């Protein structure tokens, strides 16, 4: 896996996770893709990685937390990408109002997927994610994504059956998944989803797994 070097502030409060690295690295972005949006962009690391790996002209992050947006803008500036990456402090549900309906070539998102009722042990997280918000992300992605174009997401194996129903309900059809494992011999931690707005049901692929302790 080709993870580029990038700069972040020391003692950064909003830390990036394995999910951020994966979501920035795994998407296969076509050469005709010129506008990419990340919904729930957090500290902006996903967009920075994508910009370093792909010749995308414009990358936009939509993030509801103002503090996260401030950190994201700092990271974008540190990596010399202010001419390509823009961070918007807004609710993902307003994405179409802000950017325009079907105005984006590709959407990526790491939606809320924690539903076990446990609170994060990391006390510097700004807010807890709730699985009830998952559909908001899918609807927002559908609203801004051009028909026939791709989306990429990270979600949890625990919610996969529920997620499939939400994706298909909104005509955002998963076309392939990659299971993510912390190490060999344990249950999958995450799923990387590749899908298409308006995609046909069928031709689904299950890619080889990724082990986090090997990259």
CA distance 133 to 102: 21
pLDDT of res. 113: 60
Q: Which residues contact 148 (CB under 8 A, 6 or more apart)?
A: 196, 197, 198, 199
pLDDT tens for 163-174 read 999 999 999 999
118 or 15, higher pLDDT:
15
pLDDT of res. 120: 45
3-class state of residue 206 by DSSP: strand
pLDDT tens for 113-158 read 654 444 444 444 444 445 458 999 999 999 999 999 999 999 999 9
pLDDT tens for 78-111 read 999 999 999 999 999 999 999 999 999 999 999 8
Could you write out the DSSP letters of every residue in 146-202?
A: EEEEEEEEEE-GGGHHHHHHHHHHTTEEEEEEEEEESSTTS-EEEEEEEEEETPPS-
Please give the structure tokens belonging to residue 182.
Answer: 């912390």
pLDDT of res. 195: 98
1 or 61, higher pLDDT:
61
CB atoms within 10 A of CB 31: 8
Model pTM above 0.85 = yes
CATH class of 18-214: alpha beta
Going by C-alpha positions, the residue among 204, 150, 145 that lies closest to residue 178 is: 204
Q: What region does 44 belong to: left with phi over 0, alpha with psi -120 to 50, or beta? A: left
For tokens 């990596």, the residue is 79
Map out the domains of the chain as residue ranges.
Answer: 18-214
Could you give the dihedral angle defined by the CA atoms of residues 193, 195, 200 and 205, in that order, rounded to the nearest 10 degrees?
A: -40
Q: Does position 26 have pLDDT exceeding 90, yes or no?
A: yes
pLDDT of res. 17: 87
pLDDT of res. 162: 92
């Amino acid at each position: 896996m080709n993870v580029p070097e990038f700069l972040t502030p020391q003692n950064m409060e909003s830390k990036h996770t394995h999910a951020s690295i994966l979501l920035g690295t795994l998407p296969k972005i076509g050469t005709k893709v010129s506008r990419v949006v990340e919904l729930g962009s957090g500290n902006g690391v996903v967009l920075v990685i994508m910009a370093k790996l792909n010749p995308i002209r414009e990358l936009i992050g939509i993030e509801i937390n103002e503090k996260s947006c401030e950190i994201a803008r700092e990271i974008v500036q540190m990596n010399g990408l202010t001419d390509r990456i823009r961070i918007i402090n807004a609710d993902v549900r307003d994405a179409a109002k802000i950017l325009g309906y079907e105005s984006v070539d590709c959407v990526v998102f790491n939606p809320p997927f924690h539903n076990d009722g446990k609170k994060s042990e990391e006390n510097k997280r700004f807010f807890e994610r709730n699985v009830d918000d998952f559909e908001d992300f899918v609807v927002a992605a559908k609203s801004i994504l051009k028909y026939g174009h791709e989306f990429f997401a990270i979600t949890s194996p625990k919610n996969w059956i529920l997620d499939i129903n939400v994706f298909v309900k909104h005509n955002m059809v998963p076309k392939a998944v990659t299971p993510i494992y912390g190490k060999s011999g344990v249950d999958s931690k995450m799923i990387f989803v590749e899908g298409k707005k308006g995609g046909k049901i069928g031709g689904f692929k299950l890619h080889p797994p990724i082990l986090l302790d090997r990259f």
